[in-house]
Amino acid sequence: MTPRNFGRATARFSASLAVLAALVLSAHAIATAAKAQEVFEVRETSIDDLKSVFATVRSTDEINARVRTGGTIASLTIKRGSEVKTGDVIATVADQKLALKMKSLDALIVGLRSRADTAKSEAQRQEQLAQRGFAAGAKVEEARAASQVAANALKSAEAERAVLTREVEEGDVLAPAQGRVLTIPVTVGAVVMPGETIAKIAANAYVLRLELPERHARFIKRGDPVIVGGRALSDNGAPLGSGAISLVYPELQDGRVIADAQAEGLGRYFVGERVLVWISAGKRQAIAVPRAYVFKRFGLDYARVRKDDGKLVDVVVQTGQPAKLEGDGDAVEVLSGLRSGDRLVRP
């Protein structure tokens, strides 16, 4: 191939590459434009009639860590808000009388062990003499009885010391469950009696306790979804979490129905903290659109509507409560500005 022919071939190859690149860019631009022109047809749908109420974060179980033996609190290893696990030593109760009793029993056991050894040796000596015919049978029985009494006295003292050792071990106050310490009504140096409370522990299973007016009793049921607002709302007003009703109490209290709701992320809340939630109070017909089709401008909510002639018009809409649409995920209710049949274009 001559240099001139090689140059012509190279130029043709470069031109083909440029055409191919232009086609790829054109296809990408068409796909981007098509995506930007995604259309959502407005229609009425059945949504939950959400009502905003305040719920209180409660623990399913509040357990008291109690003292098993009386004495003086020697140490506390917890404070309010501490996380504990089942079996952790949270306090130590000491009793000086137990230490004195322990020393007394130790000395008694030493003496009884020596007496038991002496009585046993005497019984063995009398048996040996009886075998040779130098001791009476009554003397042998008397020695055996004395040895048995001394051995039983030693066992009794050792058992009493074991009980005392167990009482000393029970001076360690153990956490009855895993959770967070709510209150500690005692301090180091306080005198406590058996059964007194050292700390109140809230188990890690937290729920939202709702108190609703009596009229909600016919709507609310187990499994109903709830939307949790959390401690704050995000910039777009979307709720932070969701959950479901886990228990509806069968008794009305002061004209209110009590219900518990399970939700994720409650472990970071304080027990007793009030949280804004939305619950369903029935179904109603409304207009709901995906949140992505609503945008803000100058502090107002807008939606971009495509007219029959293809023109795009931005209309002001009034948004309401958050809603859920099948297949569209997060959505918002539109109170005014749109009607059924409008076609929205994603901005």
Assign residue 232 the CATH number of its domain: 2.40.30.170
Tally the domains of the chain: 2
The conformation of residue 34, written as its DSSP 8-state character, comes to H
Q: Is residue 8 part of a domain?
A: no
Q: Is residue 129 part of a domain?
A: yes
CA-to-CA distance for 91 and 76, rounded, in angstroms? 4
Among 173, 202, 231, identify where a domain stops.
Answer: 202
Task: Specify whether 296 is located in the same domain as 196.
Answer: no
Task: Specify whether 266 is located in the same domain as 229.
Answer: yes
Among 179, 202, 225, identify where a domain stops.
Answer: 202
Task: Specify whether 49 is located in the same domain as 120.
Answer: no
Task: Specify whether 209 is located in the same domain as 198.
Answer: no
C-alpha dist (Å) from residue 322 to 164, 187, 263: 65, 49, 18
Contact present, 289 and 42 (Cβ < 8 Å)? yes
Beta carbons within 10 angstroms of residue 337's beta carbon: 17
Of 247, 340, 236, 253, give the one whose Cα is nearest residue 288: 340
Angle, vertex CA 328, rays to CA 322 and CA 333, nearest 5: 25
Task: Specify whether 210 is located in the same domain as 82.
Answer: no
Please give the residue range of the domain that contains residue 251.
37-59+205-345
Beta carbons within 10 angstroms of residue 201's beta carbon: 27
Q: Is residue 13 part of a domain?
A: no
Residue 261 pairs in a beta bridge with 208, 245
CA-to-CA distance for 279 and 49, rounded, in angstroms? 8
Among 144, 173, 202, identify where a domain stops.
Answer: 202
Axis-axis angle for helices 137-169, 96-132 (nearest 10):
160
Mean pLDDT for each consecutive 10-residue tract of the chain (347 residues)? 51 52 44 56 82 84 86 88 88 82 85 88 83 77 86 88 81 87 89 90 84 82 81 52 86 88 78 83 83 89 89 90 70 88 88
- Check residue 28 and give its pLDDT: 44
Task: Specify whether 174 is located in the same domain as 284.
Answer: no
Task: Specify whether 311 is located in the same domain as 211.
Answer: yes
Please tell me the pTM assigned to this model. Answer: 0.50
The conformation of residue 341, written as its DSSP 8-state character, comes to T
Task: Specify whether 277 is located in the same domain as 313.
Answer: yes
Task: Specify whether 198 is located in the same domain as 209.
Answer: no
Instruction: Give SS3 for 228.
Output: strand
Of 325, 346, 322, give the one whose Cα is nearest residue 333: 322
Task: Specify whether 216 is located in the same domain as 341.
Answer: yes
- Check residue 222 and give its pLDDT: 87
Q: Is residue 2 part of a domain?
A: no
Q: Is residue 3 part of a domain?
A: no
CATH number at residue 188: 2.40.50.100
Task: Specify whether 160 is located in the same domain as 261.
Answer: no
Q: Is residue 20 part of a domain?
A: no
CA-to-CA distance for 163 and 106, rounded, in angstroms? 13
- Check residue 240 and give its pLDDT: 61
Task: Specify whether 134 is located in the same domain as 218.
Answer: no
Q: Is residue 18 part of a domain?
A: no
Q: Is residue 10 part of a domain?
A: no
